[in-house]
Amino acid sequence: MSTINKWLKENTFHHSKFQNINDLIKEKEKQELSISLCIPTLNEEKTIGKEIVIFKSELITKYPLLDEITVIDSGSTDNTRDVAGSFGADVYLAKEILPEVGAKKGKGENLWKAIYQLKGDIIVYIDADIKNIHPRFVYGLIGPLLYRKTIQYVKAFYERPLTTSHGVRPSGGGRVTEILVRPLFSLFFPELSALIQPLSGEYAVRRSLLEKIPFPIGYGVETSHLIDVYNMLGMEAIAQTDLDQRVHRNQQTRDLGRMAFGILQTVLSRMNSLGIISELPALNHTLRQFQTDDNIFETVEHNILEEERPPMIEIPAYRKKMGYN
C-alpha cells in the first residue's frame, strides 16, 4: 500500500499546475520536441467542430504548444470529416493509412494508425465527444511529460473527491472500470489500481514508447496499454492528471457489456502471455444478450474478437518513414 500511496503523491497532478502555457512552450522548445493532437472519430459532427476551434485557437494560434491537429476517422456516415476539415484539422480515413496492412474496425485501429500518420515526438489522444472541451484537456496531459523525463505515459481522470456537508463523495472511473477493470487490476496488477480512470480516452504518450507497444483494435486498447507499459517500465513511467470534469454522452448498459467482454479478452490474453495464468483455453468470442418482444425473450449475439495490431516499429513502411535501419 505504501508503494501505491507514494506513486499517487508523486505521479498524480492537477491541470492547474501546467496552466502557464508559455512555460510549457519554453520546455518544449528547449527539448526540441514536437507535439501532435489526434482526435479519433466516428459520427461526431455535433462536437468535433467545437473541439477543433478551441484547440486550434488556444494551442496553435495563441500559444504554439501543438504542431498539428489531426482527425483519424473510422468512416463516419455523418458530416464529421467535412466539419473537422472546415475548421482546420488535418483529416484522414483510417482505412487509407498504411493500406498495405489492410483495414480493421475499431477505435484502437485509429489510434495505432495515428502513430504512422502524425509527426509529433509526443502524441496526445482526445476523444471527440467532450461537451465541456477546454485547453486543459491537452496541456494538463502534456505537462508531466515536459517536466519529468522519466514519465512516458499520462492518463486523464475527472471529478476529484469533494468534501461536502454530506461527507466525502467517492471518485473513480465509470461503470466498466469499477465493476471489471479495477477488480482485475486489484487482483493481478495491484499497483495499476492506483489509476483513477484507467479507461479514460484522453492520454499523452512519448512516441518512443508508443511505437513499441501493440494495439488491440477494439475495446481493450486502453487496458492493454497500461499493462504493457507497467510490464516494460514500471509505475514510475506512468502518471495521471486531474482534469476536473468531463461532460459527455453516457452509454447504455448493453453497450457497456460489449465493452467489458472485449476488455476481459484482452486482460486474459495479457495475463497468459505474462505467465500469470497458464494454458488459457480457446476463448469463445460470442457475447449473448437478451431483448424482449411481447414477453418473449430473444437472444442477440455479438461476435467480439479483440484482434491486435503489432507494435508500429515492426511495420516496414513506418521504419522506412522514420529512417530506422
Rounded-to-integer distance, Cα 138 and Cα 54, Å: 11
Q: At what angle do helices 221-233 and 253-273 cross, to 10 degrees?
A: 30
Instruction: Tell me the domains of the chain and their CATH numbers.
Output: 2-322 (3.90.550.10)
pLDDT in tens, 168-207: 545 566 899 999 999 999 999 999 999 999 999 999 999 9
pLDDT in tens, 92-149: 999 999 999 999 989 999 999 999 999 999 999 999 999 999 999 999 999 999 999 9
pTM to 2 decimal places: 0.92
Question: What is the pLDDT, as a whole number, of residue 321?
Answer: 97
> 191, 205, 197: which is closest to 171 by C-alpha?
197
